Amino acid sequence: MTTAALEATRIRAAYQHCELITRQQAKNFAYGIALLPPDKRRALSAVYALARRIDDIGDGTLPVAERIAALSTARAAITSLADGTAPDDDLVLVALADAARRFPVPVAAFCELIDGCEADVRGVSYADFAGLEHYCRCVAGSIGRLSLGVFGSADLESASALADALGVALQLTNILRDIREDLGNGRVYLPAEDLARFGCTLTPADQAHTGDQGVIDGPMAELMRFEADRAREWYANGLRLLPMLDRRSAACTGAMAGIYRRLLEHISARPQVALHKRMSLPAGEKAMIAVRALAGLGRLSGRSRPALDGRGALTRAGRPGQGQDRQAGATQQSAPGDAP
């Protein structure tokens, strides 16, 4: 077998490994990725596989110092990958290196994901939404921009800002879904200023000394609907990305965003349920959202289209004190279209 044939076999095996990881572990991501043509599906599987590895380090059970060291090792590998070097014995990095040769994947954005995971490991909390927004851009906006490198767009600069905004929306949904679970892991993501505004307290398990659940106190349903309104506006901005993508890439993005957005509506409608168990959509509902996205029905838009600044951030809403002065009992906005 020639050297070229051996290399092709190695790369094919690397992609198969990444696709297996995606099928087994990407409960929501897989519904969108299945709508892509094979070359983009393989490349996005490589992106997911490395992101999954980094997340698993941050969420693992090793001591803090060991997780920080493992994340530093991952950062060094990404730096080498961005410079064009990938180890032969790491299938995920082999696949990602090939994907980066075929598509303009901004590999260095994985370092932002590591920044966010390091904040998780260190137990960082957030005083205001500006701090939480930065975290969301690190852990989710980075994935949006990496995915955009695979999707492609005629205007990558504008599309990148929108992909970043959509990542913020998705991460805000994750945070609302996982409040109880995160408390058990010693983490609080909701901004301290929002908790104080609504008269709520979240005490992590390691501070509550009441087992492994933590303590939730105050009118959390009102706070969660407030945060859901904020997330809806980020979705309204981020989903402006869809017309900038080819049809299959738009369907993929619409399906993934649709699943999470539907989930957001379930959480907003039943916040007390979300505080007691991890809410998710049935597989059939996820599949229907994906089918609708592929049919062109998943190209969602919010009723309002708040403006973006140069970073893709909301300029008239989304931050307390910048045009957003909603009362605690604000009426829930309706958001047409699909969400998890």
In tens, the pLDDT along 189-210 reads 999 999 999 999 999 887 756 5
Q: 215-217 and 201-203 as β-strands: parallel, antiparallel, unpaired?
A: antiparallel
Scanning the structure block, which residue is given the tokens 């609302």? 176
Indicate the pLDDT class of residue 85, thresholds 50, 70 and 90: confident
| Percent over 90 (pLDDT), the chain | 67
Assigned CATH topology for domain 125-340? Farnesyl Diphosphate Synthase (1.10.600)
For residue 44, what pLDDT is reported?
Answer: 96
CB 95 within 8 A of CB 49: yes
Would you say domain 1-122 falls under CATH 1.10.10.10? no
d(CA 226, CA 330): 7
d(CA 285, CA 291): 10
Whether the per-residue pLDDT at 308 is higher than 70: the answer is no
- Considering the chain, what is the average pLDDT of its residues? 85
d(CA 184, CA 310): 37
**Tens of pLDDT along 73-84?**
999 999 999 888
d(CA 232, CA 114): 26
pTM for the model stands at 0.84
Every domain of the chain and the residues it spans? 1-122, 125-340
CB 235 within 8 A of CB 172: no
Whether the per-residue pLDDT at 275 is higher than 80: the answer is yes
d(CA 331, CA 8): 57
Taking each helix axis as running N to C, give the angle between helix 64-82 and helix 38-59, from 0 to 180 degrees, rounded to the nearest 10. Answer: 150
Indicate the pLDDT class of residue 293, thresholds 50, 70 and 90: confident
Q: Could you count the other beta carbons within 10 Å of the beta carbon of residue 239?
A: 26
- Asked whether this chain's domains 1-122 and 125-340 adopt the same fold, the reply is yes
Whether the per-residue pLDDT at 328 is higher than 50: the answer is no
Instruction: Over range 217-225, report the average pLDDT.
Output: 96
